[in-house]
A and B are shown apart, each in its own frame.
Chain A
Amino acid sequence: MSDRHQSASTGAVRLGRRGLLKCMSWAGAGVVWSLGGGVPRMLGPLGTAAAQAASTELTFVQISDSHIGFHLPPNPDPAATLGEAIAKIKAMPQPPAFLVHTGDISHLSKAEQWDQAVEVIKGAGEQVYYIPGEHDVADAGNGAAYLQRFGKDTQGRGWYSFDVGGVHFIALINVFDFQPGFKSAGLAKIGDEQLEWLEKDVAGRSASTPIVVLAHLPLWTIYEPWGWGTADAGRALAYLQRFASVTVLNGHIHQVIQKVEGNVTFHTANSTAFPQPRPGSAPAPGPIKEIPAGMLGKYLGVRTIGFRSGAAAPALTDSVLLG
């Protein structure tokens, strides 16, 4: 399977030797990955991670793909599993500085689905930075409803950046431009306008500033037949190449996959609603339905990201709801 990933990756992302060798790390549930020098090492089980996270300077949490409004197997009540994720965050020994939600907040871009998601997430008592998934811009107005509700302090079609604790966060929106041409691959685009904004956004910054990129779709091509990639990600990454530490956090594929390329690390996240098949392992990327009763929480999770003083790259902890 990794052969396929590597060959699929070359279209969107330049792969160095190290990138090819270290390319795909399938993260098991409930282990800790430390990202030092661009190569992930497994540190140990979750208990150790909690202790480690407590000594970090900046900790935040990523949740993704809550799909409120989904109502079929394996999860008739994704608001309940989102609630479990929020409870897990509330139980953290040190509260995170904020949450990021990397898209597909709703299942069908309906106001009541966003209402319910926001209400449940509010339970964490933290500030939340949202970006849309393609399910959030699926109203007949091509995303107008999302932008009206969540896009107030954003540029263009919802992109923005912010700084916390010396880390520069960039929210890229790659769920709008799905029409690169009927005969080419059905990959999303970041688009010229946003790329120009990104170039300016990072232009004056010191190369030692840690960068965190939030996006919904992966910024490397994981599996093109399912559209799991971003056609013009290479251009965005070129603007970020000079930075010592770039961490890309995305959702969309409802499973944890990680890749390292030089100073850039890519991390797809678990959903809080339902898992999806490994790339290419099923006829279609729909929800995995056949999950033994009571075991769904093993496939859902949240991610903690901690920046330690002196360390350029953050430590990431993926933990599942049913540990």
Chain B
Amino acid sequence: MRARFPRPRRRELLTGLGAALIAGGALALFAALPGRPGQTAHAAANPAATVDIHNFTFVPGDMTVAAGATVVWKNGDDSPHRIAAVGGGYASPALDSGDSYSHTFAAPGVYRYICSLHPYMRGTITVKPATGS
């Protein structure tokens, strides 16, 4: 059920970003064309929610998302951090400074996580049922 994403490298992130911009541009073009509506709406249906890691703190510490949402953790510290679900389920590799990790939450529930390198760092993802489902 839970997808695990490989940790994107910086270059891949940049490439991905470029591709996304191009794709976004293409979608915008398509959307602007008569008879091709809806594609931008589809692209916006699964937005990534971001948890920033700063000064050994998850920001925001508590986040609420809709089922199916992907949460991205970005390490902005000069120390590595590692996302680990309380009770298991998913865990990132160690995230170096600037690295990101993402996890998609398919089912509603309350998901607690810690940094396994600094286990006093904690956060919660609350997953609500997706609207319309």
Q: A and B: partners? A: yes
Interface of A toward B, CB cutoff 8 Å: 69, 72-73, 107-109, 134-135, 138-140, 142, 178-179, 182, 185-188, 225-227, 283-287, 289
- Interface status of B107 (Cβ within 8 A of chain A): no
Give me 14 other A-B pairs in contact (C-beta within 8 A), A179-B86, A186-B120 excluded: A72-B78, A72-B97, A109-B93, A134-B117, A138-B117, A139-B93, A140-B93, A142-B84, A179-B119, A182-B114, A226-B120, A283-B56, A284-B79, A287-B78
Whether B93 contacts A108 by the Cβ 8 Å rule is yes
Whether B93 contacts A283 by the Cβ 8 Å rule is no
Q: Mark B83-126, 1 if CB is under 8 A from A, else 0.
A: 01011000111101100000000000000101011111110000
Whether B116 contacts A178 by the Cβ 8 Å rule is yes
Whether A108 contacts B79 by the Cβ 8 Å rule is no
Whether B78 contacts A286 by the Cβ 8 Å rule is yes
Residues of B within 8 A of A187 (CB): 119
- Interface status of B74 (Cβ within 8 A of chain A): no
B residues contacting the other copy or chain, number (CB 8 A): 26
Contact partner, B119, options A109, A186, A289, Cβ 8 Å: A186
- For residue A22, give the distance in angstroms from its CB to the closest CB of chain B: 28
**26 pairs from A and B in contact (CB 8 Å cutoff):** A73-B78, A108-B93, A108-B96, A109-B94, A134-B117, A135-B117, A138-B93, A138-B116, A138-B117, A139-B93, A140-B4, A140-B93, A142-B84, A179-B86, A179-B114, A182-B86, A182-B122, A186-B114, A226-B120, A227-B119, A227-B120, A283-B56, A284-B55, A285-B118, A287-B78, A289-B78
Q: Known interface pairs A108-B93, A108-B94. Does A188 touch B78 (Cβ–Cβ under 8 Å)?
A: no
- For residue B12, give the distance in angstroms from its CB to the closest CB of chain A: 17
Question: Which residue on chain B has the smallest CB distance to residue A69?
Answer: B96
Q: Known interface pairs A72-B78, A287-B78. Does A139 touch B94 (Cβ–Cβ under 8 Å)?
A: yes
Contact partner, B56, options A73, A108, A134, A285, Cβ 8 Å: A285
Whether A225 contacts B93 by the Cβ 8 Å rule is no
- Interface status of B77 (Cβ within 8 A of chain A): yes
Residues of B within 8 A of A225 (CB): 120
Q: How far is the CA of A185 from the CA of B80 in the complex (A)?
A: 21
Q: Known interface pairs A178-B119, A186-B118. Does A107 touch B80 (Cβ–Cβ under 8 Å)?
A: yes
Question: Which residue on chain B has the smallest CB distance to residue A188?
Answer: B119
Interface on chain A toward B: helix, strand, loop, or mixed SS?
loop
Residues of A within 8 A of B114 (CB): 178-179, 182, 186
Residues of B within 8 A of A188 (CB): 119
- For residue B7, give the distance in angstroms from its CB to the closest CB of chain A: 9
Whether B116 contacts A140 by the Cβ 8 Å rule is no
- For residue A226, give the distance in angstroms from its CB to the closest CB of chain B: 7
- For residue B110, give the distance in angstroms from its CB to the closest CB of chain A: 10
A-B pairs, 10 with minimum CB distance: A186-B119, A186-B120, A138-B94, A284-B56, A178-B119, A108-B94, A140-B93, A286-B79, A138-B82, A72-B78
Question: Which residue on chain A has the smallest CB distance to residue B87?
Answer: A179
Q: How far is the CA of A73 from the CA of B55 in the complex (A)?
A: 16
Residues of A within 8 A of B117 (CB): 134-135, 138
Residues of A within 8 A of B116 (CB): 134, 138, 178
- For residue A221, give the distance in angstroms from its CB to the closest CB of chain B: 12
Q: How far is the CA of A138 from the CA of B91 in the complex (A)?
A: 9
Q: Known interface pairs A108-B94, A140-B93. Does A185 touch B120 (Cβ–Cβ under 8 Å)?
A: yes
Q: How far is the CA of A83 from the CA of B121 in the complex (A)?
A: 33
Max chain B C-beta neighbours (<10 A), residue from A142, A182, A285, A289: A182
Whether B80 contacts A138 by the Cβ 8 Å rule is yes
Residues of B within 8 A of A179 (CB): 84, 86-87, 114, 119
Q: How far is the CA of A72 from the CA of B77 in the complex (A)?
A: 11
Max chain B C-beta neighbours (<10 A), residue from A72, A138, A142: A138
